[in-house]
Amino acid sequence: MINNNLLHVTLNKSGQLTRRSLLQLAGGGFAAMAGAGILKTLGLSAAEMKRQGRACIMVFLSGAPSQLETWDPKPGNANGGPTKAIATKIAGVQFAEYWPKLAGLMNDMSVIRSIAGKEAAHERGRFHLRTGHRMGPTKFPHFGSVVANRLGDPDSDMPNFVSIGNTLSSGFLGVKVAPFIIDKAGELPYNVKGTVDEQRRQRRLQALALQDQDFGGQGASQIAQEHIELYRRASELMTSSRLNAFTLNGESDKVKNDYGANAFGQSCLVARRLVENGVPFVEVQRGGWDMHQNLWQSMPKTAGEVDQGVSALITDLKARGLLEQTVVVVVGEFGRTPKINQRTPSVGRDHWSRNFNGLIAGGGMKGGVCVGKTSDDGMEIADRPVEVDDLFASMCRCLKIDQYEEMITPEGRPIRIVDNGSEIGELFS
């Protein structure tokens, strides 16, 4: 039976049950409502509720890449250093010389040059750019966990959030939408490889359930339930027919080479495979961007792998008809000082959050747009500042998630998915 009070709070002034208010009940009452036939009465299907097919791939450049050596070069300026600029498909917009493949693909992507950050320490910046919230006492979830919560299938035999590399937790949203972390793309994850027969596996699961039952009886019921949920999800994944998505099985040598014969390129390829198999959020990481020293010596290899991998990912998604419903965002935790430091033996750039840049594509957005402008010396935003909240609001629009929808913390505190951001209109108009 459905709680009448639950239904009462969903009525609008005309006494109608609204779609938005129904979405707010999806977490707790969705199964009961579906069973009662209410969704059918409203003309809503479970697939519509979960917007199946919408996905996000976050390419996180951990360590904070320099905006002047990526997509906002300043050739001829003292702060620009030796970096040369190359033309892109966006008229009048240049990239640093290390990005020829993405420069030629900018009809399908857009660049944001005026992200105004607020955190210039790695841990805090990574938290901000992965959650859309600044670090504080509240354990905000990774945005991937929010997407998994809103778009994922709770009964899926696949994780709803996969991270290739270690990342943030699901925070107050709990273990059901926690990231499934793999260390190396292209192989079966070590934590789901079957090494025992089915009968023994079931005996082990039963033993673990008894252990958690005893544990819960000692006053730790919530932790015990989380353990049980983890075991259940892992067990289902071990026997999933879609487990092959974590590997490169069936991909041609040409496709593998297109993405790049390196860990990052293969991770981008696995991200495409996971999205194809219904995973709504995948994070791919490429570290090595903390270039206080040896910046120009390090850039060719570091940027080269990302240039090849991301351009292949965008091209492949588009060719398979997946780009329209898949958001791809490429960003780091902050930027680098426009002024070159004097560290020896080889100089670089230090931490800088005042302005930095990122790339975004897919999800129904326009390509070929350059948002924002920085001053000639790169020190200030000269036009159209974009807040981190604005970036997340735009991602929400692409994924058809209501940015103002509230998540409830264990303490009963309502938290908006995105606090105050506005969509970046240039990407949609």
Q: Which residue has the higher pLDDT, 239 or 95?
A: 95
C-alpha–C-alpha distance, residues 55 and 184, integer Å = 21
Decide if pLDDT at 404 tops 90.
yes
Residue-wise pLDDT tens digits, 26-73: 333 333 333 333 333 334 344 444 556 899 999 999 999 999 999 999
Q: Which residue has the higher pLDDT, 229 or 96?
A: 96
Residue-wise pLDDT tens digits, 209-257: 666 566 556 655 565 565 555 555 655 565 677 889 999 999 999 999 9
Residue-wise pLDDT tens digits, 153-206: 988 889 999 999 999 999 999 989 999 999 999 887 655 555 556 566 566 556
Would you state the structure tokens that stand for residue 300, as one six-digit string?
Answer: 């060719």
Alpha-helical regions (H) of 176-220 = 198-217
Q: Which residue has the higher pLDDT, 287 or 212?
A: 287
Residue 317 confidence class, pLDDT cut points 50, 70, 90: very high
C-alpha–C-alpha distance, residues 348 and 398, integer Å = 36
**202 to 18, 55, 159, 206: CA distances (angstroms):** 44, 33, 21, 6
Cβ contacts of 250 within 8 Å, gap of 6 or more: 244
What does the pLDDT read at residue 241? 73
Decide if pLDDT at 272 tops 90.
yes
For the chain, the domains span 1-50, 53-186+250-427, 188-246
Alpha-helical regions (H) of 277-336 = 295-319
Residue-wise pLDDT tens digits, 329-339: 999 999 999 99
Please state the φ and ψ torsions of residue 186, each to the nearest 5 degrees.
Answer: 100, -5
Neighbours of 362 (CB within 10 A): 24
What does the pLDDT read at residue 5? 37
Decide if pLDDT at 1 tops 50.
no
C-alpha–C-alpha distance, residues 425 and 129, integer Å = 20
Residue 92 confidence class, pLDDT cut points 50, 70, 90: very high
The residue with tokens 């039963």 is: 206
What does the pLDDT read at residue 188? 78
3-state secondary structure of 156: coil
Residue 106 confidence class, pLDDT cut points 50, 70, 90: very high
C-alpha–C-alpha distance, residues 388 and 360, integer Å = 13
Assigned fold of 53-186+250-427: Alkaline Phosphatase, subunit A (3.40.720)
Q: What is the pTM for the complete model shown?
A: 0.82
Q: What angle do CA 245, 248, 231 make, to 5 degrees?
A: 35
412 class by beta-carbon count within 10 Å (0-12 exposed, 13-18 middle, 19+ buried): exposed
Q: Which residue has the higher pLDDT, 90 or 225?
A: 90
**260 to 254, 264, 299, 310: CA distances (angstroms):** 10, 8, 16, 10
Residues facing 352 on adjacent strands: 335
High-pLDDT (> 70) share of the chain, %: 76
Decide if pLDDT at 391 tops 60.
yes
By the 8 A CB rule, do 365 and 110 touch? Answer: yes
- The mean pLDDT value for 78-86 works out to 97
Decide if pLDDT at 11 tops 80.
no
- The mean pLDDT value for 367-395 works out to 98
